[in-house]
Amino acid sequence: MAVLLKRVLQSARPPAALGRPLGRREASLGTDPGAAVRVRFAPSPTGFLHIGGLRTALYNYIFAKKHQGRFILRLEDTDQTRLVPGAAENIEDMLEWAGIPPDESPRQGGPAGPYQQSQRLELYAQATEALLESGAAYPCFCSPQRLELLKKEALRNRQTPRYDNRCRTLSQGQVAQKLAKGPKPAIRFRLEGEAPAFQDLVYGWNRHEVASVEGDPVILKSDGFPTYHLACVVDDHHMGISHVLRGSEWLVSTSKHLLLYRALGWQPPRFAHLPLLLNKDGSKLSKRQGDIFLEHFAAADFLPDALLDIITNCGSGFAENQMGRTLPELIKQFDLTRVTCHSALLDLEKLLEFNRRAGGTMTLFHFENCFTLADVPDFVTYRCSSLSQGKPFWKCTQARITYVFMQLCKQVPLFSRLLEGPGVNLSQDVLNGELKKVSEGLEGTKHSNVMQVLRVALSGQRQGPPVAEMMVSLGAKEVRERIQKVLSS
C-alpha cells in the first residue's frame, strides 16, 4: 500500500487513459454564463430503465441543453453482485429511444471516460491513497462475522446498527502486523468534524450530522472496488460535473460527500435533489409493477414524447402544467428554481391521452386496455364454459376482441375500396350500410360491438364521432395504416 501511496502522491493527476479532470469553475444555477454546465445521470445497471429513472435523466438532459452544457451517462456498476444482464445496454437504448441521448456515455465515449465505474478502479485507488496519506481514511480489518455481531447487538438493543470505529485507533505497528498477516483490509473514511452545510438548489439549506449517527463508512472494499459514496465523489470531480441533479433519496448522503470533497481538497459541484416520483395514490413506484419499465412502453408503441410530456406534467419545474409540450419547448420553459419539494404524482391512466396528444395511434395493447370487465357480458357473445371467472376469463375476452378485430381487418381492402374508389364521393350513409354488412358477416357479434372495436382502433377512444364520419375524414390511407398498426402489434 505504501508503494502505491507514494506513486499516487507523486502524480497529482489521474493517468491520461482514465481521463483528465475537466476544469470546473464555480457554477451557480444558470446565473454564471461563463460556467460549463456538465450534468450526469448515474444509474446502477441493476435493473432496466424505468419511468422514475427516465425523469431524473430527463431533468438532467433538459438542464444541460438549457445551459448549452453536456449530459453524461455514467454507469455505477461497482456492486458486481447485483448487475442485471442487459441492463447497461437497455439504459442507453432507452435514453436514445426517448430522444434524450447522452453526449458522453459508455457507448458514445467522451473526454472524461471510461463511463463505467468498474473501469475506473485506478482513480478510486488513487483517491483512497490520498485519504490514507492525510489520515482521513484508515484500513479496517474487522471480519464480516464481527460486523454481523455488531449489527445484531444493535438491533437487539433497538439501536440503529453502526460500525464502532474500532480500527480507527490501530497503531502503525498494529496495522503493519495485520497487513503482513491477514486478508486485505477494507478502507474506511473517518467521519469527523462538523458536516458542512450546503444550499440545495431545491431543498434549500441542509446539513446532516452524519458523524453522530453513522459509523465510519467503507469507501474501498477489500476487493479493490469502491463503494457508492467514494466512487460518486471521485467521478463527479474527474468528470467535471457542475451540477448534481439526482433523486431526493440521496439528500442525506450529500453531507458525507461534502466531507469527502473537503478531505480530498476538491471543489464540490452544486446539488439539486429532485422530489420522488410516486403513484397517483402517493405510494412508491414499484419496479415490480411491470408497466413502469420503458421497454414496456416502447414495445406497446407509446410515443416517447408522450412519456416526456406526462412526467413533466405531474411535478414541478415549469411555470404551469401544460399538455403537449415538445422537447424543445420543455427545454425552453424549464426552470430549476421552480422545482418544489413536493413529490410528483404520476397518473399513468392519463398516458393514453398524452399519447394521442403526441400523435400516437392505437396498438392492440391500448386497444385491449380500453375495455374493462364491465364491457364483457355485452361484448362477448359466447363463453368458454371452463373459463368463467377472473383472469382466464379476461384472457378469453381479449382473445375474443382480438378475433373480432382480425375479422374486421380482413375488411380493410373493402374499406379502402369504398374510401378511395374511382369518383368516390362517399357518403356516410353508404359507408354505414357497408359496415352493417360487415357486422352481419361476423357471426355472433353485435354491430354496436364492431363499431366500438373500430372506433377504438381508429381513434383510441371509446366514445367519439360516428365511425363512418371518422373514416371519411381520416381517409383511406390513414384508416388502413391505423388498422394495420393494431393488427401488427
Annotation says 287 is catalytic: yes
Q: Measured between alpha carbons, how far is 241 from 236 in angstroms, rounded to an integer?
A: 5
Cβ atoms 127, 234 nearer than 8 A: yes
Task: Please state, as a whole number, how many other Cβ atoms lie within 10 Å of the Cβ of residue 433.
Answer: 12
CB of 105 to ligand GLU, least distance (A): 15
CB of 137 to ligand GLU, least distance (A): 20
CB of 54 to ligand GLU, least distance (A): 13
Q: Measured between alpha carbons, how far is 245 from 56 in angstroms, rounded to an integer?
A: 7
Q: Measured between alpha carbons, how far is 245 from 346 in angstroms, rounded to an integer?
A: 20
Q: Using CB under 6 A, pick the residue from 39, 42, 311, 476 that binds ligand GLU.
A: 42
CB of 48 to ligand GLU, least distance (A): 13
Q: List the x/- string, 388-407, binding to ligand GLU by CB under 6 A.
A: --------------------
Q: List the x/- string, 51-90, binding to ligand GLU by CB under 6 A.
A: -------------------------x--------------
Which range, of 36-44, 119-127, 367-375, 401-409, touches ligand GLU by CB under 6 A?
36-44
* 219 contacts ligand GLU (rule: CB under 6 A): no
Residue with cell 362477448: 380
Q: Measured between alpha carbons, how far is 170 from 163 in angstroms, rounded to an integer?
A: 15
Among 369, 386, 380, CA closest to 489: 369
Q: Using CB under 6 A, pick the residue from 19, 43, 226, 275 that binds ligand GLU.
A: 43
Amino acid at 197: A
Q: Using CB under 6 A, pick the residue from 123, 125, 232, 239 that binds ligand GLU.
A: 232
Interface with ligand GLU (CB under 6 A), residue total: 7
Cβ atoms 243, 193 nearer than 8 A: no
Instruction: Give the residue closest to ligand GLU by C-beta.
Output: 246
- Give the torsion sign (CA, 61, 66, 67, 70): positive
Which lies closer to ligand GLU via its Cβ, residue 44 or residue 312? Answer: 44
CB of 21 to ligand GLU, least distance (A): 18
Q: Which of residues 255-294 bind ligand GLU (CB under 6 A)?
A: none
List % helix, strand, coil for the chain (3-state, nearest 5). Answer: 50, 10, 40
Q: Which residues of 88-124 are buried (b: 16+ CB within 10 A; e: fewer)?
A: bebbbbbbebbebebbbbbeeebebbbbbbbebbebb
CB of 47 to ligand GLU, least distance (A): 9
- Residue 221 CB partners (closer than 8 Å, separation 6+): 186, 227
Q: Using CB under 6 A, pick the residue from 99, 114, 162, 250 that binds ligand GLU.
A: 250
Which lies closer to ligand GLU via its Cβ, residue 76 or residue 305? Answer: 76
Q: Measured between alpha carbons, how far is 388 from 391 in angstroms, rounded to an integer?
A: 9
Residue with cell 442525506: 252
Which lies closer to ligand GLU via its Cβ, residue 237 or residue 246? Answer: 246
Which range, of 37-45, 100-108, 313-321, 473-481, touches ligand GLU by CB under 6 A?
37-45
* 458 contacts ligand GLU (rule: CB under 6 A): no
Q: List the x/- string, 121-140, binding to ligand GLU by CB under 6 A.
A: --------------------
Cβ atoms 181, 9 nearer than 8 A: no
* Alpha carbon 209 to its chain's center: 30
* 246 contacts ligand GLU (rule: CB under 6 A): yes
Which lies closer to ligand GLU via its Cβ, residue 42 or residue 483? Answer: 42
Q: List the x/- string, 304-333, binding to ligand GLU by CB under 6 A.
A: ------------------------------
Locate 96 and state its grid cell.
436514445
| Segments of 171-311 assigned E as strands | 186-189, 198-200, 204-206, 218-220, 243-247, 270-274, 277-279
* 44 contacts ligand GLU (rule: CB under 6 A): yes
145 CB burial (10 A radius; 0-12, 13-18, 19+): exposed
CB of 232 to ligand GLU, least distance (A): 5
CB of 100 to ligand GLU, least distance (A): 16
CB of 189 to ligand GLU, least distance (A): 16
Which range, of 40-48, 171-179, 317-325, 456-464, touches ligand GLU by CB under 6 A?
40-48
Q: List the x/- string, 339-368, binding to ligand GLU by CB under 6 A.
A: ------------------------------
Choice among 287, 332, 391, 436 that is catalytic: 287
Q: Give the C-alpha distances (Å, rounded to integers) separating 270 from 11, 30, 104.
A: 27, 11, 20
What is the binding site for ligand GLU (CB under 6 A)?
42-44, 76, 232, 246, 250
Catalytic residue positions, numbered: 287
